[in-house]
Structure 1
Amino acid sequence: MLKFDKKTTELLDNAYQGADITRRRQASFHALDPRPGETIVDVGCGNGLLTAELARAVGPEGCVIGVDPSEDMVAAGKDRCRDYECVEFRNGVADHLPVADSSADKAVSVQVFEYIDDIPAALSDVMRCLKPGGRLVVGDLHFGSFIWASDDPKRMAEIKASWDKHFVSGTVPEQLPSLLSSEGHIIEAIVPITLVDHVLKPDGIAIMMMHLMKQFAIEMEHVEPEVAQAWFDEQLSLADEGRFFFSITHFVIVARKVA
């Protein structure tokens, strides 16, 4: 799996403020519909961008609990949210959250479940933290929707196959509705957000993924460094020639805990 060290955290911190990922994050924010005074758990809070937005929404009478296993990510989140007294950060993982039973009004997780070994256990634990009738919002990419243009389909397939090994599951959105329903919880909405571009934007999700995918493929020795670099350089060339194309769909699943 990809290691979210200091260097990776800095890369993500920059890209996550771009238009593509902001749009994705805001979709989860609106689905969650945070209200003043609520207690909200941000599962896999990362660098705290959504955590800070939730803190502003719940106000000083509310509480936002950011949970993440990465010390570098938590450090970045603490720095971003240092002015919000209603925010707490805790080290922990999604299937063993350091949150009391039935203590939260809502919980949200953005692109975290694809890294979880036991998704049913994680769903069970986050539902444990919610009050009866509490809302859970999970946003994740479906890698079956991944389209990326290349003049070298074989090399592109190798890089994508490498990237498939950085997560546990690339089909989280199709799994969650049935898993939640089987436990009696209510699926209130499923919202698709397709990120598509024919321009390689400096603040877009594609350039971020290019850096991460190249880094991962080289570090894991899935391809030779020159192959990964050639793939990266080809995307830059395609962009210069006006032939760049990238698309992937992110899904936001909204569920309500049974009373």
Structure 2
Amino acid sequence: MLKFDNEGARRTEKLYASPDVEAQRKHVLSLLAPQAGECVLDVGSGPGYLVASIAEAVGPTGAVHGVDPSSAMNSLAAARAADMPWVHFEECGANALPFADGVFDAAVSTQVYEYVADISGALRELRRVLRPGGRALVLDTDADSLVWHTSDRLLHRRVLAAWEDHLVHPRLPRVLAGLMRRAGFHVTEQLVHVMFNAQMTPDAFSTSYMNSIAQFVVGRRGLTAAEVEAWLTDLRARNDEGDYLYSINRYMFLATAA
């Protein structure tokens, strides 16, 4: 699993500030549609970008709660929302939410449940804290949706296989709608958000992402530092030669609490 200590939290904060993740965040907000005065929960709130955007939408007559098991993430998030007293953060996981039944009008979770072992339990917790008819939006990635052009396909497959070790459920979207229904949700929409980079620009998602992968996979599944550096060099060469391409799908499930 990835470590979200101070260094990991800062790295994630930088990644989430990229234009690609900002575009995803805008898409999520348009679907969740938080309204003035609503009480909204963000499960796995990370560095707090999404919480801050939701807080702007609900305003001081509403309330936003972010939960995350990382104290380093919560510190970054609290600083980001320091001028919004209607925002609150709790240090906890997705399976034991510290809230009463039916207190939230809406809830969101992006790139979180793929890390949670007991997804069914976590989704039941999400349903428990939502009022009947409350909205939920869950976003996760299927690892097999990744398209990334490299010349050494064998090495690339080895790197990605090692990278999957940081996840519990790398193909969660395939079963997520059914899991949500069984947890007490009515799934109303299923959509895809495509993250696409045609160049390795400094602020592209894949530019930071490849470095996070490289740091994680060295020493896993027999990968040496030299092999991982060769993988990075190959990706940079694709950009230099004008044939760089990165694309991955983020699957979104919009639902209401039955």
Q: How many residues align?
A: 258
Secondary structure of the residue that 2:94 maps to in structure 1?
Answer: coil
Secondary structure of the residue that 2:144 maps to in structure 1?
Answer: strand
What does residue range 95-244 of structure 1 map to in structure 2 within 5 Å?
Answer: 95-218=95-218, 220=220, 222-244=222-244
Q: Which of 214-223 and 163-172 deviates more?
A: 214-223
Q: Which of 113-122 and 18-27 deviates more?
A: 18-27
1:28–1:222: structure 2 CA closer, same or farther, 3 Å change rule?
A: farther
Aligned equivalents of 1:221 and 1:98: distance in 2?
A: 38
Give the CA RMSD over aligned residues: 1.3
What TM-score does the superposition give when structure 1 sets the normalisation length?
0.96
Alignment partner, residue 43 of structure 1? 43
1:73–1:152: structure 2 CA closer, same or farther, 3 Å change rule?
A: same
One-letter code aligned to 1:173:
P
Deviation at 1:8, TM superposition (A): 2.1
Deviation at 1:2, TM superposition (A): 0.8
Q: CA offsets per residue over residues 21-60 of structure 1, 9 Å max, x none?
A: 1111222111111001111011000000000001101100
One-letter code aligned to 1:149:
H
1:181–1:221: structure 2 CA closer, same or farther, 3 Å change rule?
A: closer
Alignment partner, residue 61 of structure 1? 61
Percent identity reads 33
One-letter code aligned to 1:116:
V
One-letter code aligned to 2:198:
H
One-letter code aligned to 1:96:
A
1:222–1:115: structure 2 CA closer, same or farther, 3 Å change rule?
A: farther
Secondary structure of the residue that 2:143 maps to in structure 1?
Answer: strand
Is the 2:162–2:221 Cα contact (8 Å) retained in structure 1?
Answer: no
Q: CA offsets per residue over residues 60-92 of structure 1, 9 Å max, x none?
A: 011000100001100000110100010000000
Deviation at 1:182, TM superposition (A): 2.8
Secondary structure of the residue that 1:140 maps to in structure 2?
Answer: strand
Runs of 4+ in structure 1 over 3 Å off = 219-222
Aligned equivalents of 1:10 and 1:166: distance in 2?
A: 18
One-letter code aligned to 2:193:
I
Q: CA offsets per residue over residues 76-121 of structure 1, 9 Å max, x none?
A: 0011010001000000001111222111111100100110001111
1:247–1:188: structure 2 CA closer, same or farther, 3 Å change rule?
A: same
Deviation at 1:184, TM superposition (A): 4.4
Gaps of at least 5 residues in structure 1 are: none
Q: Which of 199-208 and 29-38 deviates more?
A: 199-208
Q: Which of 146-155 and 182-191 deviates more?
A: 182-191
Aligned equivalents of 2:196 and 2:102: distance in 1?
A: 39
Deviation at 1:222, TM superposition (A): 4.5
Aligned equivalents of 1:5 and 1:219: distance in 2?
A: 20
Q: Which of 48-57 and 240-249 deviates more?
A: 240-249
Aligned equivalents of 2:132 and 2:175: distance in 1?
A: 23
One-letter code aligned to 1:65:
H
